[in-house]
Structure 1
Amino acid sequence: MIEIEFESPTESLCKCCGNTTVRLTRFVYRDGDAHAVYYAQYTPQHEEKRLSGIIGLGEWGEDGTPDGRLAFPFQIWIDEDSFKVGLVDAEASPWSHLRFLGRILDREEALEHEWINEVFHITDHMVTDDKEIMSYFGTQGA
């Protein structure tokens, strides 16, 4: 069973338009054990509602290091009535410089990785369990 620990959102200025960008940090636990970390960001004033995110999977125990983890960058948007998740290359991620989550995979490598189903499992929880994300997409209570 997955549980998500929610940190308070932070805000910064969007580089493309100067509006407020909301950033989320979340810790994911599976059966009580640290399982993943995800970051997400979105700018509510952008015409197209699109969330950028990255999920770090791997070893998160006390002895865990970034060398024991991999990071999967993606975007989420709504197409008609359903959520879409698209993996992106590392350089397209706002976190391309970050090493804490592990080596960031490019799209093709991520799609072929054995952990990809877990990435999609977590993104499913993001759009149904994360109230900040649900509010952004207007799906609160859906």
Structure 2
Amino acid sequence: MKLEIDPERDVQTGVCECCNTSFDRVTGFINDDNGAYAIYFASCYHHNGIHEAWIDVIIDDAWTPDEPVSRPGPNRVTFGCRIGPVENAPGPACTLVTGGAVAPDEPFYGRKLTREEALQHPWLSDYWATMDHILEHDLTVNQHLYGPAVVEGD
């Protein structure tokens, strides 16, 4: 499966309610070989000087070009994870959390999977492939977690 982030992604800056620091929130669509595949929301925080991101990914096997994305298919789910430092890890690590935990309870998000539900879900490997793609190809998320890219010759 070939994934591609839609170039029309949106980046907004907000202020964290818990610590009053600014953060960036990316909203983007991901396409696969068949077209629409997923929607993601990545919130990049600086909590107490720690770079972390909370990312929700909505996956639906019933995206259709003629229907608005707000109309979910019967299998739509939202996965969630936190990416950041964890004990005994040399770099940022992904940890499953409840998907869409801070999002409103609306049909748009489908079923918000808990960590336990996500671990058992048949789309878990697709979700991790999607997360790998976001971490590698979304410039805002990548630079927030791993720092600016080093250009050869610098």
Task: Give the TM-score normalised by structure 1.
Answer: 0.86
Aligned partner of 1:113 in structure 2 is 121
CA distance in 2, matches of 1:8, 1:106: 26
For residue 60 of structure 1, the aligned residue among 59, 63, 85 is 63
For residue 39 of structure 1, the aligned residue among 38, 41, 51 is 41
Unaligned runs of 5+ in 2: none
Structure number, greater radius of gyration: 2
Equivalence map 1:1-142=2 (5 Å): 1-6=2-7, 7-44=9-46, 46-58=48-60, 59-61=62-64, 62-63=66-67, 65-68=71-74, 69-78=76-85, 79-81=89-91, 83-90=92-99, 93-95=101-103, 97-141=105-149
What per-residue deviation string (whole Å, max 9, x for no partner) do you get for residues 19-50 of structure 1? 11211101000015100001010223642221
Distance 1:111 1:96, change over 3 A: farther
CA distance in 1, matches of 2:48, 2:103: 20
Consecutive aligned runs of 4 or more in structure 1 exceeding 6 Å deviation: none
Read off the aligned partner of 1:126 and give its amino acid letter. Answer: I
Distance 1:98 1:15, change over 3 A: farther
Would the aligned equivalents of 1:41 and 1:52 in 2 still touch at CA under 8 Å?
Answer: yes
Distance 1:44 1:119, change over 3 A: same
| Aligned positions, number | 140
Distance 1:10 1:104, change over 3 A: same
CA distance in 2, matches of 1:100, 1:33: 19
Would the aligned equivalents of 2:39 and 2:57 in 1 still touch at CA under 8 Å?
Answer: yes
Matched residue SS, 1:85 = strand
Unaligned runs of 5+ in 1: none
What per-residue deviation string (whole Å, max 9, x for no partner) do you get for residues 76-115 of structure 1? 125314x421111257x33253541311011101110000
